[in-house]
Structure 1
Amino acid sequence: MSSNETNPVDPMMESHWRDWLAWADENGVMVSADGDFARIRERVWDASEYVAVSVQRHPDEFAELIASGDLARSYGAGDLDARLAAALAEVEGEPALHKALRLFRRREMVRIIWRDIGQLAPLAETLEDLSELADVCIRRTLDLLHDWTCAELGTPRDPEGRALRMVVLGMGKLGARELNLSSDIDLIFAFAHGGEVEGGPRVLSNEQFFVRLGQRLVQALATKTIDGFVFRVDTRLRPFGEVGPLAMSFQAMEDYYQSQAREWERYAMIKARPVAGDPDDVDALMGMLRPFVYRRYLDFGAFESLRDLKQMIVKELNRRGMEGNIKLGPGGIREIEFIGQAFQLVRGGRDPDLQVRPILQVLALLAERELMPAEAVVELDTAYGFLRLVENRLQAHRDKQTHTLPEDDQGRARLARSMGFSDWAAFAVVLEEHRRVVQGHFDHVFAAPVQEPDRGGSAWVALWNGDQDEMRELSILEDAGFVDPAAARTRIEHFRDGTARKGLSSRGRDRLAQLMPQVLRIVAGCDLPDAALGRVLLVLEAVARRTAYLAMMIEHPSILSQLARLASMSPWFTDKIQHHPLLLDELIDPRRLYAPLRRDELESELDALLAHVDSEDLEQQMERLHQFAQGNMLRVAAADLTEVIPLMVVSDYLTEIAEVAVGRVLEQAYAHLSVRHGHPTSILGETTGFLVLGYGKLGGIELGYGSDLDLVFLHGTESINAMTDGQKEISNEQFYARLGQRMIHMMTTQTASGALYEVDMRLRPDGAKGMLVRSIGSFAAYQESEAWTWEHQALIRARPVAGDPALMRRFAEVRRAILCRERDPERLRIEVRDMRAKMRANLDKTRDGRFDLKQGAGGIADIEFMVQYAVLRWAAAYPALVDWTDNIRLLETLAQLDLLPGQSAEDLAEAYKALRAAYHRGALQEQPKTIPVDQLLAERERVRTLWHDLMEDGSVLDA
């Protein structure tokens, strides 16, 4: 900072200081001889005429500030509130209230400016102190005015007779606790219920009461008296603006925000913060407003809206010649706020962590989530701090709400000195660099989507608009590579006519007109454009009325490229998105789309999705679980179709998704029940005493797309009389039965995002007529003495997928003991063979030139039965056979042990892989699980031969 010997303080300001010194001398007030005090005093008097004049006119206040030590220390939590409470303790009547508030504000402003310019307080402390000053003034004033208004007019009550209080929302910088030195405060007033005031001298509605209360609050804070003002108050952000009622009921506000609010009001509501009000009412109001601000889907329309809003601001500034405005001008504070808030509007509904108000917290989250480069966030942070300091120094000069850089030499020199620069030129270089950096990042974030080179673009526009004759349109489609141009033209025409009949908004029509030529061009570039066109149009038909999705595809043309590419490969992919458009979000980042997650990453993603869901909000829990499962299955399918991951690990990924989801369902269902009933007692278990077994494809780590889950539930209760330990105790048996029921409900109930999984419980002991949940002891006894051979076959593929570790260990012991029993080989062979014959007779769909991949002779089930027969026959002698549940590793173990003749195990493994590959591909093509009878002939014939040798003849095993 420059020396005041070369940049002297304004003589007038120095005369104010000499006046205070004279007063201090007359009144025996000691003046600090500390050198730091003198240097800070000079800087403050140089930068702030407001402080110099305030001290000269009210010398005793400054003396008290020095004596108290408040100039030199940071305030703690509650200090300002306690100080104001004391100042208002004896106040009676509004004139006295107005005076006390203004004296309080003046004292604290002098302190805050002293600490800011004197570099005793960092910017964050200055903004926090200013925001807290506003908060306590609003709350304490409102408390007094409420009581006085009730004494005069009566008490407003809700329909149940509860006395109501006004809710005050702080907007803008107050809402974010980022208030600057001479900011106005944006307020919205609301009350919970309509009705009438009780006990007053005349009939009065609640609205009339709260409008009057709001008027008195505004007057108390904003009216300029001989003592100045407290805060300028702006209430124009309320519904309907200046023409709307000053205070509105929650219901009226909800109606407004659902049907009439404008896009910029969503932007404004990001920073809305309750400053005063009953906590329950506050929660209700914020819960009502949240869906208006934060949408469930990624709302890329926000970029378009904020881009338009910024253009309007720039146009107005240019008209007024206000390029020097550091708030609204190019590279200014507002551009930094727009960057953060655009991402909040787009992603805040899906990522509740982004629903924070302070801009620096938002920027930090954008870096953490890799939505912006970390270095860009550092640059924006630095620029924001610099610009906010400039803003404060501009306003500290005369306590005026200005954001415009001075144009006179004296003002420029003063501002530069207050910022620590030797002159204006040095300051201006740094300021302009920050503004250049901010504008660069803003332009990058809000740049209009870049269109690819024309490549016949005008033709696609004309084709979409239907501006050309039929022959020309057919020619365009044929040249683009469509095999059936006439069918493609008909599809386009039907889609265009269908969307026209849907009555889209003007914005929706504009977005569709902008999007469709891109769609047609990108689809035409696919390997199979005919297939891709029909499938992509089905997706667009599903989202046409939800213009935010259209905006998302316009803002990110890469989404269209991924959609068309994958649509040409699989109808499964577009069918999922058509029914659940939220999945379009997954197409934004190709790095993420083609990189399915493993278990730890899946757990982390699910943690984030559920982090802000209320533990009692079952509907939202299910919704988030469904989004999690479907989004991750979509990624697996994308990586599978494009061969980023090998086919044989597709089931590994799908199985892990299911396991993570089932584990979280168990966790949430158990937490819900234990809150009500406590925890089961007298159990075998370390945690829940509950175990979820996966059978079939889940147990065998062989899940496919759309597979249901074969589950069995066990519990560890060791006493039939055991009860839970909560206040509403129930038996352990009841607890675990309800736990199983709730889990099934959470997994199978249809929500807006579909169902989590279909669940099949028929493999439990006694099948569909058996108890939903059995104890581990009962399960062991059943397997030992009552289970059929086919149930032991099923047990081979059973494994724990979620639950208590102690029960997992006990189940492993039971399973091993059952599977390793000595068995009669011939009797076992006959039972397994006969069961397979019954199954084939009932389930085989081989007919009309199509082969059933699973149930046909030589298909997947034949291999599974041969493996299960081999395990049950030899496990007693070779316990390693029960180490695995999946067929490939079981076959590898059989090969290592040389239990099957020749290359039988290797042959079966290769056939199994080929058949499963065809099964997977059929699922993605949404084809029946059959193939033409002339496919995979060699593999099927080898399986049939081995079936005959092993299961029909059997003598080969005795050789």
Structure 2
Amino acid sequence: MTGSRDALTEKQQEHWTAFCQKAKATGSTFDPESEGARLLNTAFAFSDFVAAGCIHQPNMALDLIDSGDLLAPYDDDGMARRLNSQFQTMAETGPEAAVPSLLAALKPVLRTFRRREMVRIAVRDLTGFSDLDETMADLSALARAAIDGALNLLYAGQCAVDGIPRDSHGTRQRLVVIGMGKLGAGELNFSSDVDLIFTFPSGGQTEGDKAPVANEAFFTRLCRHLIQAIGETTTDGFVFRVDTRLRPYGDGGPLAMNFDHMEDYYQHQGREWERYALIKADVVAGDRKAGRELLLRLRPFVYRRYLDFGVFESLREMKRKISAEVRRKNLHDNIKLGSGGIREIEFFGQMFQLIRGGVLPVLQKPAIQFVLATLGREGFVPPAVCRELTDAYRFLRTAEHRLQEVDDRQTHALPADPGARLRLARSMGYDSWESFREILDGHRRKVRIHFDGLLETDSGSAGSGGREASGLVEAWSVAESTDERRRLLEAAGFPDGGAAAGLLRGFDAEPATRALSSAGRQRLEKLIPRLLEAAAGCDDPATVLQRVLQLLKCIQQRTSYLSLLIEYPTALTHLIRLVGASPWIAAFLSRHPVLLDELLDPRTLYAPPGPEALRTELERKLADVPEDDLEYQIEVLCIFRQVNTLKVAASDITSTLPLMKVSDHLTWIAETILDKVVEISWNHLVQKHGRPTCTLDGQICRRGFAVIGYGKLGGFELGYRSDLDLVFLHAADPGETVGGPRPIDNAHFFARLGQRVVHMLSTHTAAGMLYEVDMRLRPSGASGLLVSQIKGFEDYQSNDAWTWEHQALIRARPITGDAVLREAFSAIRHQILCRRRDPTSLKTDVRDMRERMRESRLEVQPDQIDIKEEAGAMVDIEFLVQYLVLQHAADRPELTRWTDNVRLLQALAETGILDQTAAYRLRQAYLIYRAVAHRLNLQEQSNRIDSHRFEHLRKMVQHFWQRTLAATPIRQSDDNP
């Protein structure tokens, strides 16, 4: 290897000597010891392209040194700015020969500029002055600048000849150039082709002095000129080889197509590989605004608005083709296409983009390193795997550049020549080929392992081929009679095979099942036997089967969900477990099948996040949603609520969370959503109308708006079906908003803010609705203002509110909004609750309200009681607590600290108002009632239970009620519940 090392050094020195001679011959003051010169000398060892370019054009090399361009990165528009300055030196041409003259002048300018910039990029890369990301960005910027600059000149020239293309409304039309692949992603390699698709907004014709030309003909001609300007090889070389085969219909399609035709093509004829290709599409030249609008129109084709597990089979076919090509073409030494190469890393990331990009917009960004980081951060792929793939990608892409920088030749094959191998190793920072190859092979082994693991199913999954599974396949798809199906099902573990057979027969006869496509039917044929086997292992197989089939009936038209349950056996396992435990969860999943994705990871499924984690998660989910897309924002919020509610329910039915923690988590979810809804609504109105001015008792309020939660939200007792009892407050000053294009009255601003908050919470979208909202507890109820001024609220509570409204205030607390206003509300609440009240009037008011409530809500059923409304049940305990707080808070102001019944009972005991035994018994009764009501909700049952259940608890509560609130209370000595 010493000889090879000497040969490399000698060749470098030979090139350097030749360059120095040429540089001095120019008459310039050339300092071979300058930093720029040393960079060139170093690069000469690794790149014949750099050496030859500098020797043949020493002035170019000297300009790179003298300008400082070798030593500093370009800013964002540095490449385009430099190229445009070169265009200004072109001789002006007459309009009669615009395009031929332009092409003749344009080609050498582009190629000279390209040579200079490619030498600069290679030198900076080879010497370590730029990292991989800067090198890819510079190469992509060079391509974009060349395409856009040439297009602008050629468009102006062709308009001078043919006239200006316009649509039917007279709007000027411009070409849109979409870059695909590495150009679209900003990841261009050193000697890459550019994959381009040409399009324009609308049909029409040109307008000018000559006969009109159809827009299609105009832009087709323009595209041919552009391809010639960029891709033609002349004596000066080429700029970029252009490939247009990714356009609709490929080589057989029109070179340029208008937006409507393009959208129609992808909607009706687009194939999976075209979705895969469009992941990396971006507008690189021409009418960028129109181009971005087109890509938004095509987004539903590329990214489904649901988890697209239906793409598995086509992805698996792509993967098979990749592996087959590696074997067939013996590509082992190809670092792009070979085993463990760049293509496999890109496939890894793009697979997740296709499947999840529709529901996680952040995955729609094309850069592979960003995608890998996102997959790790979001938990879809272990972070260690993402790090290994990213490290491998950076190593392989750097090696790819070093290979191509040798001769500016598009190659991905590792060299066979010992000298070329050593040069590659040394350019990568290794002393020998062996040490470089060891690291390279290590990266490729890891990539191959991760690539091979993609799309593989678990061979030990349900329905994997045993005798039971075989019989269940027959029970679903082969059995010709009900008796035969019953026998097969009973043999598999269904106690009542006839009932199970009837369920299958009914499901098979459903219109939705019969209407399935052939692909959907095939997926169902795979899934049902696995489902039957899983259900057979449950305590009540028929019930589980009935619930899961009901769910499948709702989701089977989106066959990608069937694919999810086939591809991920763990998801089916958890589905059976949860659905078997709760029909509410079964119905919940039927309404929101996007949640099936949550079944994939039991680490998060049974671990609902706390308040801080919820806020962080929601911020991340909304980060990439356009601020002006309200419907999409609401959909993201809905899915966020549904996902986290499912996690709470899963933890609840598996007893991971106790009852009070369940309510805490459901309350935190609502608080997080309310906070974000207020923020979104506030920002929208401020942008339109400016900011309202708000002060309260001399204090400036940042927003002057607060949301108060009452009832179960205020008392940290939310259930799965709870609505939100809300009151809105504001502290607006007289006058109008400031700083916006359309000022409005400050109070009117807050009325609109309240309306928008309610709208966001209660509007129906494709993803469902956030919450039912009840605003009737505001001052004057349904006839009152939607948003109350804080001083008006205080006056109402002090002078006009009924006793029941003060009872409601006990369970009220600020949820979100301005800190000054929240403190003011808490002070008002404390003041009102601590008022001294006439004991007799208070007792009468509370007792009468309870009776009116019972009469309006309670439906008497023989042998059943309502666990909430019956005498001695849950609401009686709540009224007892509220009465005692209102009666004693004047002397015991610490009673106003809490809003939930459990801690209020504890406070009543600590203050001596209740003895410890009575408080304990009431608290236990209340928790038991809540737990039972909670379980009834999960079982989708009403609040009615057998009349003999909890009889002793109800008697105890009734006795305490009589002692405390009866018109003629019983004596303490008579208390013997």
TM-score range, shorter chain: over 0.9
Q: What's 2:879 paired with?
A: 865
1:835 positional shift: 2.0
Change beyond 3 A, Cα 1:379–1:774: closer
Q: 1:728 aligns with which of 728, 742, 747?
A: 742
* Residues matched between the structures, number: 957
TM-score calculated relative to the size of structure 1? 0.94
1:552 positional shift: 2.2
User: Is 1:382 aligned to residue 391 of structure 2?
Assistant: yes
- Looking at structure 1, the residues matched to 598 and 580 of structure 2 have their Cα atoms a distance apart, in angstroms, of 17
Q: AA paired with 1:693?
A: I
1:154 positional shift: 1.1
User: Is 1:716 aligned to residue 715 of structure 2?
Assistant: no
Query: Is the Cα contact below 8 Å between 1:699 and 1:797 reproduced in 2?
Result: yes
1:543 positional shift: 2.0
Query: Is the Cα contact below 8 Å between 2:694 and 2:703 reproduced in 1?
Result: no
- Looking at structure 2, the residues matched to 377 and 761 of structure 1 have their Cα atoms a distance apart, in angstroms, of 48
Query: Is the Cα contact below 8 Å between 1:695 and 1:794 reproduced in 2?
Result: yes
Q: What's 1:488 paired with?
A: 500
Change beyond 3 A, Cα 1:936–1:826: same
Query: Is the Cα contact below 8 Å between 2:181 and 2:281 reproduced in 1?
Result: yes
User: What SS does the aligned partner of 2:141 have?
Assistant: helix
Q: AA paired with 1:653?
A: H
> 1:299-338 maps to which residues of 2 (within 5 A)?
299-338=308-347
User: Is 1:852 aligned to residue 866 of structure 2?
Assistant: yes
- Looking at structure 2, the residues matched to 550 and 336 of structure 1 have their Cα atoms a distance apart, in angstroms, of 27
Q: What's 2:892 paired with?
A: 878
Q: 1:275 aligns with which of 275, 284, 292?
A: 284
Q: What's 1:888 paired with?
A: 902
- Looking at structure 2, the residues matched to 501 and 322 of structure 1 have their Cα atoms a distance apart, in angstroms, of 46
Query: Is the Cα contact below 8 Å between 1:348 and 1:355 reproduced in 2?
Result: yes
User: Is 1:630 aligned to residue 642 of structure 2?
Assistant: yes
Change beyond 3 A, Cα 1:552–1:104: same
- Looking at structure 2, the residues matched to 769 and 119 of structure 1 have their Cα atoms a distance apart, in angstroms, of 72
Q: What's 2:709 paired with?
A: 694
Residues 490-549 of structure 1: CA deviation (Å, up to 9, x unaligned): 222332343775443443333333322222222222232222111112222222222322
User: Is 1:363 aligned to residue 372 of structure 2?
Assistant: yes
Residues 418-477 of structure 1: CA deviation (Å, up to 9, x unaligned): 445455444433322221111112222343444425452222222232346544432332
Q: 1:842 aligns with which of 846, 856, 859?
A: 856
Query: Is the Cα contact below 8 Å between 2:37 and 2:65 reproduced in 1?
Result: no
User: Is 1:779 aligned to residue 793 of structure 2?
Assistant: yes
User: What SS does the aligned partner of 1:457 have?
Assistant: helix
Q: What's 1:799 paired with?
A: 813
- Looking at structure 1, the residues matched to 957 and 595 of structure 2 have their Cα atoms a distance apart, in angstroms, of 40
Q: AA paired with 2:707?
A: V
Where structure 1 has 5 or more consecutive residues not aligned to the other structure, the ranges are: none
Q: What's 2:173 paired with?
A: 164
Q: What's 1:182 paired with?
A: 191
Q: 1:816 aligns with which of 824, 830, 839?
A: 830
1:63 positional shift: 4.9
- Looking at structure 2, the residues matched to 926 and 388 of structure 1 have their Cα atoms a distance apart, in angstroms, of 56
Q: What's 1:595 paired with?
A: 607
Q: AA paired with 2:525?
A: A
Q: AA paired with 1:196?
A: Q
Q: 2:110 aligns with which of 88, 101, 107?
A: 101
Change beyond 3 A, Cα 1:809–1:34: closer
Residues 640-695 of structure 1: CA deviation (Å, up to 9, x unaligned): 11100001222111122112222222222222222222233353262222222222
Change beyond 3 A, Cα 1:703–1:95: same
TM-score calculated relative to the size of structure 2? 0.92
Change beyond 3 A, Cα 1:103–1:864: same
Query: Is the Cα contact below 8 Å between 1:499 and 1:544 reproduced in 2?
Result: no
- Looking at structure 1, the residues matched to 257 and 802 of structure 2 have their Cα atoms a distance apart, in angstroms, of 70
> 1:826-837 maps to which residues of 2 (within 5 A)?
826-837=840-851
Q: AA paired with 1:504?
A: L
Query: Is the Cα contact below 8 Å between 1:765 and 1:779 reproduced in 2?
Result: yes
Change beyond 3 A, Cα 1:120–1:849: same
1:332 positional shift: 0.4
Q: AA paired with 1:117?
A: L
- Looking at structure 2, the residues matched to 126 and 729 of structure 1 have their Cα atoms a distance apart, in angstroms, of 49
Query: Is the Cα contact below 8 Å between 1:464 and 1:496 reproduced in 2?
Result: no
1:219 positional shift: 1.0
- Looking at structure 2, the residues matched to 376 and 614 of structure 1 have their Cα atoms a distance apart, in angstroms, of 31
Q: Which moved more, 1:341-350 or 1:495-504?
A: 495-504
Q: What's 2:97 paired with?
A: none
Q: What's 2:86 paired with?
A: 87
Residues 736-785 of structure 1: CA deviation (Å, up to 9, x unaligned): 22222222111111111222111112222222222222222222222222
1:707 positional shift: 0.9
- Looking at structure 2, the residues matched to 14 and 272 of structure 1 have their Cα atoms a distance apart, in angstroms, of 44
Query: Is the Cα contact below 8 Å between 2:5 and 2:422 reproduced in 1?
Result: no
Q: Which moved more, 1:43-52 or 1:782-791?
A: 43-52
> 1:373-522 maps to which residues of 2 (within 5 A)?
373-409=382-418, 411-452=420-461, 454-455=465-466, 456-467=468-479, 470-498=482-510, 501-522=513-534
Where structure 2 has 5 or more consecutive residues not aligned to the other structure, the ranges are: 94-101
1:817 positional shift: 2.1
User: What SS does the aligned partner of 2:440 have?
Assistant: helix
User: What SS does the aligned partner of 2:192 have?
Assistant: coil
Change beyond 3 A, Cα 1:528–1:393: same
User: What SS does the aligned partner of 1:8 have?
Assistant: helix
- Looking at structure 2, the residues matched to 90 and 502 of structure 1 have their Cα atoms a distance apart, in angstroms, of 70
Query: Is the Cα contact below 8 Å between 1:155 and 1:200 reproduced in 2?
Result: no
Change beyond 3 A, Cα 1:327–1:303: farther
Q: AA paired with 1:529?
A: P
- Looking at structure 1, the residues matched to 574 and 566 of structure 2 have their Cα atoms a distance apart, in angstroms, of 13
Change beyond 3 A, Cα 1:814–1:15: closer
1:147 positional shift: 0.3
Q: What's 2:147 paired with?
A: 138
Query: Is the Cα contact below 8 Å between 2:36 and 2:68 reproduced in 1?
Result: no
Residues 89-147 of structure 1: CA deviation (Å, up to 9, x unaligned): 23342112112211222222233333333444333332222212111111110110110
Q: Which moved more, 1:854-863 or 1:896-905?
A: 896-905
- Looking at structure 1, the residues matched to 42 and 834 of structure 2 have their Cα atoms a distance apart, in angstroms, of 88
Q: What's 2:541 paired with?
A: 529
Q: What's 1:121 paired with?
A: 130
Query: Is the Cα contact below 8 Å between 1:168 and 1:277 reproduced in 2?
Result: yes
Change beyond 3 A, Cα 1:688–1:224: same
Q: 2:628 aligns with which of 607, 611, 616?
A: 616
Query: Is the Cα contact below 8 Å between 1:846 and 1:930 reproduced in 2?
Result: no
Change beyond 3 A, Cα 1:585–1:819: same
- Looking at structure 2, the residues matched to 323 and 718 of structure 1 have their Cα atoms a distance apart, in angstroms, of 74
Query: Is the Cα contact below 8 Å between 2:244 and 2:251 reproduced in 1?
Result: yes
Query: Is the Cα contact below 8 Å between 2:660 and 2:717 reproduced in 1?
Result: no
1:380 positional shift: 2.1
Residues 803-838 of structure 1: CA deviation (Å, up to 9, x unaligned): 222222222222222222222222322222222222
> 1:905-920 maps to which residues of 2 (within 5 A)?
905-920=919-934
> 1:224-373 maps to which residues of 2 (within 5 A)?
224-373=233-382
1:43 positional shift: 6.4
User: What SS does the aligned partner of 2:691 have?
Assistant: coil
Q: 1:194 aligns with which of 188, 203, 214?
A: 203
Q: What's 2:918 paired with?
A: 904
1:61 positional shift: 3.8
Q: What's 1:205 paired with?
A: 214
1:926 positional shift: 0.8
User: What SS does the aligned partner of 1:765 have?
Assistant: coil
Q: AA paired with 1:702?
A: E
